[in-house]
Amino acid sequence: MAIRDELQRLVDRMNGSPEAIRSLNAVYQFHLADDNVLQVRFHGGQVSLKEGAPDPADCKLTMTEATLRKLMNRQLNAAAAYMSGDLKVEGKMTVAFRLQEVLKAYS
């Protein structure tokens, strides 16, 4: 399954049960291999997934698709990925850490 499809399934789960994301208002921009850029926008208890970079990002995350899958499935800790260089973060670190909490709530 394509990573975009996996992210869309996660977004659908979040929108179906938004309790853990109600207070999150942020745009995450994922830079994946082959110039694949996806944005996930949290606003007002809803989440949207877009291709490209249509909105200003609060946090830019650069990693491989394999690393993103591991993070989504809780097979890899974000701090460990960051320390090993598998994950690069630009922007607000507090926003980046909040994403890990959200992934934990929906995995």
pLDDT (tens place) for every residue of the chain, 107 residues total: 799 999 999 999 999 999 999 999 999 999 997 789 999 999 999 999 999 999 999 999 999 999 999 999 989 998 899 999 999 999 998 999 899 899 989 97
Superfamily of domain 3-106: SCP2 sterol-binding domain (3.30.1050.10)
Task: Give the three-class secondary structure for 22.
Answer: coil
Every domain of the chain and the residues it spans: 3-106
Q: What is the DSSP letter of 76?
A: S
Amino acid occupying residue 36:
N
- Please tell me the predicted confidence (pLDDT) of residue 64: 95
50 with 44: CB under 8 angstroms? Answer: no
Q: Exposed e or buried b for every residue in 12-42, given b needs 16+ CB within 10 A?
A: eebeeeeeebeebebbbbbbbeeeeebbbbb
